[in-house]
Amino acid sequence: MGGRVLSVASESVPLVKTGGLADVVGALPAALAATGWEMRVLLPAYRALRPRAADWPVVWQEPDLWGGPGRVLAGEVAGVPLLLLDAPHLYDREGGPYSGPTGDHPDNAVRFAALSWVGAQIAREGLADWKPDVLHAHDWQAGLAPAYLAYHGNGGCRSVITVHNIAFQGWAPAHMLGVLRLPGHAFHPEALEYYGGISSLKAGLVTADWITTVSPTYAAELMRPEFGMGLQGVIAARGPVVSGILNGVDTALWDPGAEDPPFGRKAMAGKAAARTALCTEFGLEVPGPLAIVVSRLTDQKGIDLLPEVVPDFVVAGGGLIVLGSGDPALEGAVRNLADRFPGRVAARIGYDETLSHRLFAGADAVLVPSRFEPCGLTQMYGLRYGTLPVVSLVGGLADTVIGANPAALAGPVATGITFHPVDALAFGRALSQLVQLYRQPKLWAKLRANAMAQPVGWETSARTYAALYERLAA
Ligand SMILES: Nc1ncnc2c1ncn2[C@@H]1O[C@H](COP(=O)(O)OP(=O)(O)O[C@H]2O[C@H](CO)[C@@H](O)[C@H](O)[C@H]2O)[C@@H](O)[C@H]1O
């Protein structure tokens, strides 16, 4: 069969990215193409995006978009079919998608309501030559789109919302209800009301025809208070329409065979050369495993555990390079480790896609000690590059890495090292195991080969999304 899906999101590669959400939104259209589902992505035309769309045709006009008009321009960038919502009064601003020089934009509730509103309008009425069968909303920024379809009519278009990160819920005070074009009758705990106000994410969760998140384990975790961040009851109540579909990675972009020097499962010399180059670049000399962290530096990612476990790891022969940015306290903690252990630990504060490729190519292991992780992408880059993932057993990490426990080693199916609970004791023991395994070259080579054989592309997940759209549209 097949059909049309309108994806509504606040970021997408290659245009605008603050996290993994953008990778997934940008990868889905191409991944779905083989299934017969045609996806277009509706994004705000942020300042940096406007010049690209200057000569794109206008395919939709919206006269009254919270203080000004909006228009939708259609085009394509790097194979991603795009609909850019140009509303300069909302999006033509200095800074990133959510914040400017002085912090978060104070009208974010309205900025993303406008995105959701236009998404719902297009879904309901269709463009001149393109009527979606399904609207696929991502995270709180698009959460009101399913709500607008539910409360203002859906024109036969069904809706799905995907939770990439439940920590961001898009809360607004109750008096915004009318401003956000939401009906007063729905302001009660079973529908829109959330802690006395409105959460766009909750609005999407209660009104969408289906809810997905980015791994089966996270789908189950979200129904528990430890992970649901207040929305566990809402999600549990909708249990029958909740499913977890793992993210894939772009295997053309993340391809050891395309690195310099190239390497692969049966030709690992290139990886050894990449390790040497990396050590030279960062002035490191590491007798044991060389580990990396490539991450937003936040509590979610367990970065605060590093100062507790890295000293013992270094004494045991290990080395570490951290690439990331985020919480200033965590940036400081990481810099401090590099100062304490010159020649063994290095830190690069910032965002650097090219460097991250060199890190995955040259390192022996990637550390992902997340407290919660809806899916996680870096452990999958690690698998593909034979850079063994050392991960906490939460969310998508638990679904993508097979820990080197005795049964998995005997299998032999192990692809990395896993630990639980998420604390310094368990993480430290995992790093000791990493050092031990590294000292056994035959076993290490086997683990690497297992890891590199894992299918981490989009094929399976794209088929699962297509089957979901099929069911909804039927
Ligand atoms: N300093 C830096 N330099 C270069 N690259 C950097 C970087 N910091 C981060 N990155 C890159 O940004 C992406 C981060 O994606 P993740 O899935 O690991 O986490 P994130 O929490 O952002 O995503 C959320 O959404 C995604 C998508 O659903 C879920 O997988 C995840 O669990 C959820 O928390 C990766 O591609 C990573 O390599």
Give per-residue pLDDT as tens, 287-317. Answer: 999 999 999 999 999 999 999 999 999 999 9
| Ligand 1 center from residue 174 Cα (angstroms) | 32
Give per-residue pLDDT as tens, 168-217. Answer: 999 999 999 999 999 999 999 999 999 999 999 999 999 999 999 999 99
Assess whether the C-beta atom of 296 lies below 6 angstroms from ligand 1.
yes
pLDDT score for 460: 95
Domains in the chain: ranges and CATH: 3-248+459-473 (3.40.50.2000), 256-453 (3.40.50.2000)
Nearest atom (ligand 1) to Cα of 18: 22
| Ligand 1 center from residue 315 Cα (angstroms) | 30
Which of 10, 16, 18, 23 to probe ligand 1 with, by most ligand atoms within 8 A of CB?
A: 23
Assess whether the C-beta atom of 293 lies below 6 angstroms from ligand 1.
no
% of the chain surpassing 70 pLDDT: 100
Residue 423: which H helix or E strand, with range?
none
Q: Is 107 exposed, middle or buried (0-12, 13-18, 19+ CB in 10 A)?
A: middle
Flag whether pLDDT at 1 surpasses 90.
no
| Ligand 1 center from residue 454 Cα (angstroms) | 20
Nearest atom (ligand 1) to Cα of 22: 27
Contacts of 18 (CB under 8 A, 6+ apart): 11, 96, 97, 98
Which of 377, 392, 456 to probe ligand 1 with, by most ligand atoms within 8 A of CB?
A: 377
pTM over 0.90: yes
Residue 429: count of CB within 10 angstroms of its CB: 13
Interface predicted TM-score (ipTM) of this complex, two decimals: 0.98
pLDDT score for 317: 98
Nearest atom (ligand 1) to Cα of 301: 21
Question: Is the bond into 14 cis (omega within 30 degrees of 0)?
Answer: yes
Average model confidence (pLDDT) for the chain?
Answer: 97
| Ligand 1 center from residue 67 Cα (angstroms) | 34
Give per-residue pLDDT as tens, 414-468. Answer: 999 999 999 999 999 999 999 999 999 999 999 999 999 999 999 999 999 999 9
Annotated binding residues for ADP-alpha-D-glucose = 17
Assess whether the C-beta atom of 18 lies below 6 angstroms from ligand 1.
no
Report d(CA 221, CA 9) in Å as an integer: 24
The whole-number average pLDDT for the span 316-332 is 98
Report d(CA 56, CA 43) in Å as an integer: 14
Report d(CA 200, CA 198) in Å as an integer: 6
From atom 15 of ligand 1, which residue's Cα is the shortest distance away? 20
Give per-residue pLDDT as tens, 352-397. Answer: 999 999 999 999 999 999 999 999 999 999 999 999 999 999 999 9
From atom 17 of ligand 1, which residue's Cα is the shortest distance away? 376
